[in-house]
Structure 1
């Protein structure tokens, strides 16, 4: 897989993100208010992910919880303006039924595992291995529908042909208790004559409740070698623009609507 294809696949399938309550009321203490603008992909995606202004008109955004248990029904929704603007309020707390048993992996469906048989050193982990963490998935329903993700993609160009391909993807986690992310893991393997070195790092605190994160992914290919890095940090999203990913599945349709 070419580096640009790798980043498009990650941006399309890595994760679904953010959500909201109906607009018009003051948020409860501890609630997280998100605002942003929808974008959509241009028709030219051969060399990277390029966005254009939203052309899907008005509609609705819907929030779901994604975890090892699957994707929940809609937990909150809010209107979408015709120009792509939205303002979403996440509930301060989640019902315990939305928090699955503690998984083996430290975080929900974010960091790709190494291939079977890879030689690895180090580890990435949460300070509290018993904590339950879930991820938010945000989708849109309008004349265009699908999952939306805050993502920024840069690819090498003629001026900098040896620069790494880079994708910064925003994530929203809900943690039942405060903890911290830490650790570095490096894995190497060879497949079809290509030696791959994958480094995964995560750092930063997770507070109780909602957390904004950025997964910074870079790829640099040189001959028969590929260096891939995943760096997960907490504190902020990479952008307030949310890009429609039409190939992704927004989850089950809400009943009665």
Structure 2
């Protein structure tokens, strides 16, 4: 009788395993982005005065896929309240047809005067970059979660650090990392890029940090940029790359270089 019971358990075990292995993985959830918008003070002479309370009123905010087959395709529209708080809910997934391989500009390859190396764990992964643009009664400029810091020395040399959050969708898990150092012929400026990002399937927040050092004559001498995983920066404002919104008193000669890779 004991052997019969053991045989019954043994016969039932494969059925149990099949039942367990057939469990459906949880469905992907919509991705909600929330934050608070700030206006910027173009006359600021230090970063503490750069952000000021939102005064541009209520409106809408659009999340756009810059990598879509039709670039700038709107993924979702949210609401901006009069106090600058906003929320927008993105779909749970983006079709592969609206994604692309890691951009060549991020591969750190083939740039004159540069030495580079990039490692990608899953080159089949496709990604999309999401931008946020104000609409409705607002002026349609892009907004980002960002911060800015500056140091000015007595001899008028100094450094500016611009930190921005970037939302990326990935079709699959992948890790990519690498470094690039560039020195353009005829220029004393040395530029260094470093990437260390671990993307999961779905939406990922990356932090772009770009530091610019300049001489007392206002000539740029060093550019350093890093791209890593992070949370959103706490303040959102008009993208400093548009509209000349980085104050000249902070930006000095670096204004023309504030561009995403």
Q: Same fold (TM over 0.5)?
A: yes
Distance (Å, rounded) in 1 between the aligned partners of 2:155 and 2:35: 31
Match of 2:238 among 209, 232, 244: 244
Q: Which has the higher contact order (CA 8 A, sep 6+)?
A: 1
When you count helix as a share of all residues, which structure comes out higher? 2
Q: Does residue 180 in structure 1 map to residue 179 in structure 2? A: no
Distance 1:161 1:124, change over 3 A: farther
The CA deviation at 1:105 is 1.2
Q: In 2, are the aligned partners of 1:80 and 1:86 still within 8 Å (CA)?
A: yes
Aligned to 2:207: 214
SS of aligned partner of 1:97 = helix
Aligned to 1:202: 195
- The aligned runs of 1:145-164 (5 Å cut-off) are 145=139, 146-157=141-152, 163-164=158-159
Distance 1:35 1:68, change over 3 A: closer
Match of 1:129 among 123, 126, 148: 123
Distance 1:116 1:60, change over 3 A: same
The CA deviation at 1:70 is 5.7
Aligned to 2:162: 167
The CA deviation at 1:64 is 0.7
SS of aligned partner of 2:189 = strand
Unpaired segments ≥5 residues, structure 2:
1-26, 244-261
Distance (Å, rounded) in 1 between the aligned partners of 2:169 and 2:160: 29
Aligned to 2:138: 144
The CA deviation at 1:117 is 3.3
Runs of at least 4 residues off by over 6 Å: 45-49
The CA deviation at 1:157 is 3.1
The CA deviation at 1:185 is 1.2
Normalised by the size of structure 1, how large is the TM-score?
Answer: 0.71
Larger radius of gyration: 2
Distance 1:190 1:131, change over 3 A: same
Aligned to 1:88: 88
The CA deviation at 1:150 is 0.9
Distance (Å, rounded) in 1 between the aligned partners of 2:156 and 2:240: 29
Normalised by the size of structure 2, how large is the TM-score?
Answer: 0.70
* Aligned residues: CA RMSD: 3.1
Aligned to 1:40: 39
